[in-house]
Chain A
Amino acid sequence: MPAKRIIPCLDVKNGRTVKGINFEGLTDVGDPVELGARYAREGADELVYLDISASKECRNTFTSLVSNIARHINIPFTVGGGISSIDDASRLLDAGADKITINSAAVANPALISEIAARYGRQFVVVAIDAKQIDGTWRVTTHGGSRLTDLELFTWAVEVERLGAGEIMFTSMDHDGTRNGYPCDTFARLCSELSIPVIASGGAGSVDDIAKVLIDGTADAALAASIFHYGEITITELKQQLSSRGIEVRLTK
């Protein structure tokens, strides 16, 4: 059985990493390749790069960045942000991405999931789902949580798997950014209804939170940004602490 994965997420704007402090030993913390390589050395199991640039020109910058990442990083990496067609997906695959993640585009055009999965295999397609609770029902949102859809979380997640997604990355918009932990019951239910891996995102404030979502929430992986970027804990330390709590993680030398 695979070990639980720890995945740092790097936001990229105009080819530069957005968040992050000045790590010791890094000459340029804004360099996505250098920061990614550091995380890989510390024991990150995968990397996620999200392009948060708005313009078309920046898309090209991001694509050349993806080729650069592929040349230097020896662990799997996922890219996302603004992918809305099979051509976008192909461009990023050709640049060397191992997986792509789609969110709003999957809601707008569910057939896109099948189309990409049919061409490049389901392992290539990670569908990100953002949802929030409205009157006790988990409702799917798009565009960074700003638009509420009619979709119900569990129904949508099962549909996404049926359409060909290889993994689901779930973020609770009620928890994202709060650093108060994840909704573990919701994760546990998602995992029991799906047979593909589930990545927990949004809400990690401590090692406890991550341990809980991996054990109680039975998530296969945890994605986090700020706790790593601001140097609160290194990936090595996090994994050692998870391991000492009996969670199987890949420890590197």
Chain B
Amino acid sequence: MIAVIDYGMGNICSLGHALQRLGVEWQLTADPTVITTASHVILPGVGNAAEAMENLKKLQLPELITTLRRPVLGICVGMQVMCRHSEEGDVDCIGIFDAKVKRFIQQPGVKVPNMGWSRLANMDGKLFKGIDKGSYAYFVHSYYAPLCPDTIATSRHPEMFSAALKYENFYGTQFHPEKSGDVGESIIKNFINL
């Protein structure tokens, strides 16, 4: 059973539907027992990193998340709060990934938020098994994790940033696999098969 962490950060509707389409059992929960016994854990997130951290803290989840030994996947802001710090609200985060999340700098020709389909490059490891080089994923974000030792995929806007991160059993994607068509579906499948 997959636990999708319920911490009041945006609509998890599309993630739920994506899991449903893959025919896997999942539950939306903030219950520590359910989260620790789940086979896989997903930390979704749409919105603001500072608010996300505050909500996680209220539920006493940041520490619990660091103790998980099953595969964990943070998506978008879910990935960002698994980093060390975020510029969004200048907040200290869970600190699993060795990165400090920054805001894209607005400049001519560079739209913020970065919204749309961008190419994935430098994909590494099981999460990207079977994904063709140069495949596109769907991104919606104004903040990003720079390249770091935990980077397992990159994208550009226009500078290179971390499209995905991995540290031990923890994974994060800046893009939304649940909205990234067949490529996204394969990535979720790969995560479930970890």
> Which residues does A use to contact B, with CB under 8 Å?
1-3, 5, 40, 45, 70-72, 74-76, 93-96, 98, 120-123, 166-167, 192, 195-197, 220-221, 250, 252-253
Contact = CB atoms under 8 A, between A and B. Distances in A.
- Shortest Cβ-Cβ A-B pairs, 7 listed: A2-B116, A250-B136, A96-B13, A250-B117, A123-B140, A2-B118, A76-B179
B140 A5 contact: no
Contacts of B13: 70, 93-96
Given A3-B116, A3-B118, A45-B116, A93 B11 contact: yes
B47 A121 contact: yes
Contact of B179 (A3, A74, A220): A74
A96 B106 CA distance: 30
Contacts of B115: 2, 123, 166-167, 197
Contacts of A71: 17, 20-21
Interface string B113-145: 111111100000000000010001011100000
A186 B117 CA distance: 25
A196 B14 contact: no
Consensus secondary structure, chain B interface:
mixed
B83 to A, nearest CB: 19
Consensus secondary structure, chain A interface:
loop
Contacts of B136: 3, 250
A3 B117 CA distance: 6
A221 B11 CA distance: 25
A237 to B, nearest CB: 18
Contacts, number: 87
A197 B111 contact: yes
Contacts of B178: 74
21 contacts: A1-B110, A1-B118, A2-B118, A3-B118, A3-B119, A3-B136, A5-B116, A70-B17, A71-B17, A71-B21, A74-B21, A74-B178, A74-B181, A93-B11, A96-B14, A96-B17, A120-B10, A122-B113, A123-B115, A195-B112, A196-B113
B90 to A, nearest CB: 19
A166 B113 contact: yes
A94 B119 CA distance: 30
A75 B157 contact: no
B185 interface: yes
B78 interface: no
Contacts of A1: 110, 118, 156-158
A123 B182 contact: no
B34 interface: no
Nearest to A44: B181
Nearest to A221: B116
A199 to B, nearest CB: 11
B46 interface: yes
A120 B139 CA distance: 17
Contacts of A94: 11, 13
B184 interface: yes
B27 to A, nearest CB: 18
B18 interface: yes
B116 A121 contact: no
Interface in B83-106: 106
Contacts of B18: 74
Nearest to A251: B136
A5 B114 CA distance: 13
B88 to A, nearest CB: 12
